[in-house]
Structure 1
Amino acid sequence: MVIPISLVTQFIGMFAAAKVLKLNVNIIGIILLTFIPIGLSSVVPGFAGFGLSLLSLVLLVKIYDGSASFLKIVAILVISVATQAAINEYVVGPAVTHSLNNAEKITIEEGQIIIE
């Protein structure tokens, strides 16, 4: 099973936000905060999907931590996005660059890039 790196970074970002803000959210809540908004935005296209994913995020945070204010929800988004950006900049980017620089053969088959 292949998991997209963006989904992993989203999970790490949500986990970091929950710990930094001391939210009353367990691991199941963090998994739901990761998968439900992404799933909704994948199924429903455009601004409607974006709006539904934000609404689901707000509802899930309120369900798991009723004391969370609007500013805390905005902070969750900011911390999550900042964490994802840092992971992409300092981990994923250099790893991909290293793989491409040291590859003997790069092919594209059925929409997938194969680095050998």
Structure 2
Amino acid sequence: MDKRVVGTLLGIAGILLWFMPWTQFSMGEMEFARTGSHVGGIAYVLLMSSLAYAVLSWVPEPVPRIIVAALSTLLSSIFWLDAGEAAAWGLVGLCMVSGISLLQAIEENRAFKHAEQAK
């Protein structure tokens, strides 16, 4: 599959996971979940970074994607560490998607540099 399509799909997955449960807790017999929209504030950077990654997948230069994916991975990891045991599947998935996006962008940067040197 084309790397641009994979990058776009990873960005869309990050956007969708932003709306999924990040933390779960219970009060008595009632179960509650918080999503990225409930967290607000800096969590909106995660939403925008996923959108930016999807858009930047179509730009030939991979460095902006590395920056966006690194920011997303860092922020989602901080949220996961803050949530601790209460972390839900949406936040864990967002961390995984962000990490995979970062690895893909780094690998594409290596291929980009190798192609530049081969010219």
Q: Max radius of gyration: which structure?
A: 1
Q: TM-score range by the shorter chain?
A: 0.3 to 0.5
TM-score using structure 2 length: 0.36
Bigger relative contact order, structure 1 or 2 (CA pairs below 8 A, ≥6 apart): 2
TM-score using structure 1 length: 0.37
